[in-house]
């Protein structure tokens, strides 16, 4: 019996997610287990709709079981996110295939790029970039350009970056699970417009925020569960209250917060910025 694993945030569940589930079924999966972020997603933001609604959307959209990815992994780097999700699927003891979207269907190319991204030289340059305040994708891109330009070309695609981490996690945690990349259809992960009737979750959230027509980009069965409950900036007052009480050392206790980043956060905290404004203000480079 073939059981597919899928890792997602479903924030919200859209036509691209439905397509991946459909491809898993067409490939022979008799059951689908989805690992989904809970109340908080990888950008560190609260999910737009609560996890109960997003679980309902996934089940109606074709998943048979939805497991919550703990926040320690759900809000972490690509490596932490992938490792936590793959470990959870491996612990099920029944998952045979991992389906995931990618900009390439070549497992070999993704594995080679992933191996380059795991080299000591890459890790050293990556850590330095993160200490300088680069985003994880930007720091990864710079590290790869300096260590393996060919791998950098593969991992320029945001889905490929995460796909390579899935493959690395499978080698560490679950060699019995077969990787099954599916070529991403429609708009890209960072695209702000729809293509072929498919838009990224980020683009759909922005359309929702502006009060635009988003319904056609979400499967009909999941539309009632896609309506946002919360926007990141709704948490701005609470965030400001916490930051005004925090010391530099306390901020550095959080994962991936360097002393430099803590200093930039505290320098802006007294201005009582919104969550979005603060995130933009402390970012040094994209």
Task: Report residue 200: phi and psi, to 5°.
Answer: -70, 160
Do 91 and 183 reside in the same domain of the chain? yes
My answer on whether 109 and 123 are in the same domain is no
**37 and 98 together in one domain:** yes
| Calpha distance 262→179 (Å, rounded) | 38
* pLDDT score recorded for residue 194: 53
pLDDT band at 284; cut points 50, 70, 90: low
* 222 and 160 co-located in one domain: yes
Higher pLDDT, 6 or 193: 6
Q: Are residues 69 and 134 in the same domain?
A: no
Q: What is the pLDDT of residues 48-97, one digit of tens each?
A: 999 999 999 999 999 999 999 999 999 988 889 999 999 999 999 999 99
Is the predicted pLDDT of residue 239 greater than 80, yes or no?
yes
Whether residue 11 contacts residue 58, with contact meaning beta carbons closer than 8 Å, is answered with no
pLDDT at 189 over 70: no
Residues 25 and 134 in one domain: no
Say if residue 42 is in the same domain as residue 139: no
- Counting residues of the chain whose pLDDT is more than 90, the rounded percentage is 63
pLDDT at residue 123, rounded to an integer: 87
- Of 4, 50, 61, 56, the closest CA to residue 27 belongs to 4
Q: Say which CATH number the domain at 40 has.
A: 3.40.50.620
Which has more pLDDT, 246 or 150?
246
101, 200 Cβ separation under 8 angstroms:
no
State the residue for tokens 């022979």: 28
Strands ordered across the beta sheet of 65-69: 65-69, 31-37, 3-8, 97-102, 178-183
- Given a contact cutoff of 8 angstroms between Cβ atoms, the answer to whether 12 and 222 are in contact is yes
Q: Given 129, 151, 173, which residue is the final one in a domain?
A: 151
Q: Are residues 143 and 167 in the same domain?
A: no
Number of domains into which the chain is organized: 3
Three-class SS state of 255: coil
Task: Judge contact between 248 and 46, C-beta under 8 A.
Answer: no
**CA pair distance 270, 285, nearest whole angstrom:** 22
Distance CA 167, CA 117 (A): 12
Kindly state whether residues 142 and 64 are assigned to the same domain: no
Looking at residue 241, what is its pLDDT? Answer: 93
* Residue range of the domain that includes 129: 118-151
The Cα–Cα gap between 284 and 286 comes to 7
Instruction: Show which of 203, 230, 257 is a domain's final residue.
Output: 230
Q: How confident is the model at residue 119 (pLDDT cuts 50, 70, 90)?
A: confident
Task: Assess whether 174 and 109 both reside in one domain.
Answer: yes
Closest CA to 180 of 27, 13, 17, 19: 27
Take residue 283 and report the two structure tokens written for it. Answer: 């970012």
Closest CA to 248 of 268, 273, 265, 229: 265
> 109 with 127, same domain?
no
Across the range 165-188, mean pLDDT stands at: 87
pLDDT at 115: 83
Same domain, 220 and 98: yes
């Amino acid at each position: 019996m073939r059981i597919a694993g899928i890792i997602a945030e479903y924030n919200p569940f859209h036509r691209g997610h439905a397509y991946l589930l459909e491809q898993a079924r067409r490939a022979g999966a008799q059951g689908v287990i989805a690992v989904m972020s809970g109340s908080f997603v990888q950008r560190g933001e609260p999910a737009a709709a609560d996890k109960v609604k997003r679980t309902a959307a996934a089940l109606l959209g074709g998943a048979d079981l939805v497991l919550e990815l703990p926040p320690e992994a759900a809000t972490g780097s690509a490596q932490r996110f992938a490792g936590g999700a793959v470990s959870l699927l491996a612990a099920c003891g029944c998952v045979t295939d991992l389906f995931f979207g990618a900009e390439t269907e070549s497992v070999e190319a993704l594995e080679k790029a992933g191996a380059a991204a795991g080299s000591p030289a890459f890790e050293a340059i990556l850590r330095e970039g993160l200490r300088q305040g680069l985003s994880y994708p930007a720091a990864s891109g710079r590290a790869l350009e300096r260590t393996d330009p060919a791998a950098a070309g593969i991992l320029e695609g945001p889905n490929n970056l995460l796909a390579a981490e899935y493959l690395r996690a499978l080698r560490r945690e679950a060699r019995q699970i077969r990787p099954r990349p599916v070529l991403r259809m429609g708009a890209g992960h960072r695209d702000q417009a729809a293509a072929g009737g498919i838009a990224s979750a980020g683009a759909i959230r922005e359309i929702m925020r502006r009060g635009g027509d988003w319904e056609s980009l979400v499967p009909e069965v999941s539309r009632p569960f896609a309506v946002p409950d919360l926007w990141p900036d709704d948490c701005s007052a609470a965030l400001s209250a916490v930051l005004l009480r925090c010391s530099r050392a306390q901020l550095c206790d959080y994962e991936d917060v360097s002393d430099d980043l803590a200093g930039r956060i505290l320098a802006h905290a007294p201005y009582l910025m919104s969550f979005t404004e603060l995130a933009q203000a402390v970012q040094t480079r994209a």
